[in-house]
Structure formats: C-alpha cells, structure tokens
Amino acid sequence: MTLPDGRGRVAVVGAGIVGARTVRELIGPGADGQPTNDGVVLVSRREDRLRELSPIYGSRVSTVRADALPALPDDVGVVVVAREQGAQVAVVEDAVRQGRHVVVVGDDPDDVEALLALSGAARDAGVALVVGVAMAPGLSCVLARHSAAQLDSVDEVHVARDGVAGPACARQRLRALRGGAVDWRDGAYVRRPGFSGRELCWFPDPVGARDCFRASLADPYLLVPAFPGVTRVTSRLAASRRDRALAPLPVLLPPPAEGGPGALRVEVRGEVAGGKETIVHGVFDRPGIVASALAAVVATDVVVGLPPGASGLAAVHDTVPLLAELARRGVRAARFHGGS
Amino acid sequence: MRGLRRAVVAVAIGGVIAGIVRLRGTDATPPQQGGWRELEGQDLT
C-alpha cells in the first residue's frame, strides 16, 4: 500500500459522530504542517448526511453513497471502518479482500472476536487489520502498552471508561451494561453478570470518582494476547445507581446526538526490579474526539508499521510518537502520581 | 385480613426506603495524596 511515503488516500466508511470527526482529523495538517494523506473518500449509506458534510470538508474529500464497501480507487491504502455494532465485519472482509489496511472503530466484543478471526485472511492479503480503535478499547490498549514499557513484567490490567460518543455508542453502552462480562483470571476467561463488581474508580479531573461496573466489553480480548503471562484483565463501565435501577426497563427517550465529556483510566500492575509497581494513566475528553483522533493517527502513522494480521493497539510497541501526536491534536493523556 | 394489609404496607414502605438509600448512596473519600499530571515534554520524546 502507498502510505506513508507515497501517502495515498484514506477511505472512511461511516458518517456518524466518529466517522465525520475522523475525516476532519484526516484533512488537517500533520506535525510538519504538511497533509498526512492525499485525500479522503467518505462512504456512507445516508445521502442526506453526505450532502450535509460535503460542503464543510471541501475539495480534499470525495463522497460515495453505498451500502457495502464500493470498489475503491487504487490509491486508497487504508480503510477506516466507523459503522455501528453489527455492521462492520462485512465491510472489513471486503476491504481485506481488496488488499487494503483496515482500522476498525468499535467496542462490541462479538464484533471484535469476529474481526480477530479474520487475522489469517489479513495475513494472506499482506495487510494489517487494527481492531478496537476507540477510547476503550483503543487508547486503553495504547496506555496499557505505555505503562508496560516501564515494567519488567505485567501481572494485571484494569480498564475503566466513562462516557459515550454518538447515539450508536450510547446504544452499545446500554447493551454492554445489560450483557454478560468477561474477565481474564489466572489463565482463563471467566463470565460474570453485567452490572456486577461495583468499584469506585478515580478518573482524571473534572470527572473524579465514578462507580464502575462489569459489562460486556472487548478490552480483555485485545489485551490478553498482547501481554503473555498476565493473570488478571478486567474492564468496567461507569454508571450511576439510577442507570442500574432503570437498566431492565425499555428506553423511551432517544440518545443525544453526542455524549458529553468522558474519561478513561488504565491501571497496570507488575514488577520492576523484583518489587511490585502500579502505574495508572488516564484521559479526560469526549469519547468521540478521542476515537476519531486515534483512528486518524493510526490510519496515517501506525497501520503500515504493524505486521500483517489482526491485532489491537497494544501491539504497538513504541507508544511515545502515537501519544505525542494525539497530544498535538488535543487528546492529552495523564499519569496519576502519588498515594492512593 | 388486617394483619395481611399491614404486612403489605410495611413491605412496600421498606422497599421505598431501601430504593432511596440505594439510589442516593454515600459520598466517597477522594485520594488524600497525589494527583494527575499530563504527559508532556520528556514523557513524550
């Protein structure tokens, strides 16, 4: 594929909150002030949405209305898939078949498992398939890897997330809280009920303390293969007691166009020089902004450096340039220093 | 009959009180030391 030396174009499939923001990130300049690609092709099923977005983006973005992945021009090296849960796998299969690197934004565990199963097809096609590129999983995997680089060994990874991106993400959050969770414990996946395991997690200010619960999340499926020997991996979602009480009832109100500010917390426990060490990183930002900035940076800077096959972002070994580019785009990770 | 009615009312009142207590919860104690610091400069080079 043509990125990064020849640049080439990037296709974005899906024009929701994250897809539209990813296009905006892609048409902005890189750290050197130069374009990071030769243009963007935005693919959506919604004609009205494309008409709304097209004049905002200008001439560097071409739009295509299509239900499935259309036959893309040869200079499209990377496809970013930002469709809702359940509508991603077929598009990814087409993109891999066309021989293009793929970046998939999403956090549904069933989708993530199905996409990881495409690893063989991606290897055969000689392309990288990056799965779970969002706030969590996604930035959570990057921060876990960043912490792991400061440890001799990793024993435990615990992820907690607060907030949602767009309406599809809000629906997915509710499904996750109602569904069954999966924890990694002592070498095996253990099924737990959703909304169990309440834990008070401290996120970066101004979010602060939130009750977090087990939910049907994809982080363990991406973190466990990346850290051989890890004994515990858990993932939780922040929710209020009101959410918990009302969860079994039908939702009568539609989700908002975009969720409010959210946050992420990644706690990694391991050993350094024979002693126990805990490293906590976090982020405060809108999940839609985090996911779109990460998808854009991965599509232009990271994906071609990954080996062929499917993986999450914990497979990225040098996290510093990625975190620096995210910080330049306004997504600033933080580390917790001091006591508990 | 009157005893049964009293029992139902007592269970209902208990349920309402338990629900209020469960939804309100208690305030948490924030960390007493340390704080968040953004990654910058040397952290990102």
Write out pLDDT tens, residues A93-110.
999 999 999 999 988 999
The torsion angles phi and psi of A283, rounded to 5 degrees, stand at -145, 140
User: A42 or B9: whose pLDDT is higher?
Assistant: A42
Please tell me the predicted confidence (pLDDT) of residue A25: 96
Distance (Å, whole) CA A313 – CA A319 = 9
In this prediction, residue B23 carries a pLDDT of 60
Rg (CA), chain A: 19
* pLDDT of A221 above 60: yes
Within 10 Å of residue A321's Cβ, how many Cβ atoms?
16
The pLDDT value given to residue B28: 57
In this prediction, what percent of chain A has a pLDDT beyond 70? 97
What's the confidence (pLDDT) of residue A117? Answer: 97
Q: Which of A294, A267, A264 is nearest to A282 (CA)?
A: A264
Chain A residues within 8 angstroms (CB to CB) of chain B: 200, 202, 204-205, 208-209, 211, 241-242, 245, 281-282, 320, 323-324, 327, 332-340
Write the ipTM: 0.79
User: What is the structure's pLDDT at B44?
Assistant: 84
Contact A132, A218 (CB under 8 A): yes
State the smallest CA–CA distance between residue A174 and chain B in angstroms. Answer: 18
Q: Which pLDDT belongs to residue A253? A: 77
Structural tokens at position A226: 């990346």
Is residue A189's pLDDT more than 70? yes
Q: How far apart are CA A56 and CA A23, in angstroms?
A: 11
**CA separation (Å) from B8 to A135, A265, B17?**
48, 45, 14
B42 or A266, higher pLDDT = A266
Rounded to 10°, the helix A89-97/A109-116 angle is 20
Chain segment A72-99, per-residue pLDDT in tens? 888 999 999 999 888 999 999 999 999 9
What is the pLDDT, as a whole number, of residue B30?
A: 61
Higher-confidence residue of A102 and A246: namely A102
Residue A247 is predicted with a pLDDT of 78
- Helix ranges (DSSP H) in A64-212: 89-97, 109-116, 119-125, 139-148, 167-178
Residue A255 has a pLDDT of 77
Band the pLDDT of A1: cuts 50, 70, 90. very low
Q: Answer with the residue of higher pLDDT: A326 or A67.
A: A326
Q: Write down the mean pLDDT value for chain A.
A: 92
The b-or-e profile of A105-122 (16+ CB within 10 A means b, else e) is: bbbbbebbebbbebbebb
> Do B34 and A339 make contact, defined as CB atoms within 8 angstroms?
yes
CA pair distance A51, A45, nearest whole angstrom: 12
Beta carbons of B30 and A334 less than 8 Å apart? no
| Confidence label for A323 from pLDDT (cuts 50, 70 and 90) | very high
B→A contacts (Cβ < 8 Å), by residue, are 19, 22-25, 28, 30-40, 43-45
| pLDDT tens by residue, A194-212 | 889 999 999 998 999 999 9
In the prediction, which pLDDT does A2 show? 45
pLDDT in tens, B12-38: 888 888 777 666 655 556 666 789 999
Looking at CA atoms only, how far is residue A265 from chain B in angstroms? 11
Asked if pLDDT for residue A68 goes beyond 90, the answer is no
**Which tokens is B8 given?**
């139902």
Token pair 């809000």 in the structure block, residue: A170
Question: Shortest Cα distance from A88 to chain B (angstroms)?
Answer: 33
Residue A250 Cα, gap to closest chain B Cα (Å): 19
* Best residue of B20, B23, B44, B45 to probe chain A, by most A CBs closer than 10 Å: B44
Q: Specify whether the CB–CB gap between A268 and A154 falls below 8 A.
A: yes
- pLDDT at residue B45, as a whole number: 80
On chain B, the residues whose CB falls within 8 A of the CB of A281 are 39
Taking residues A129-152, report their average pLDDT: 96
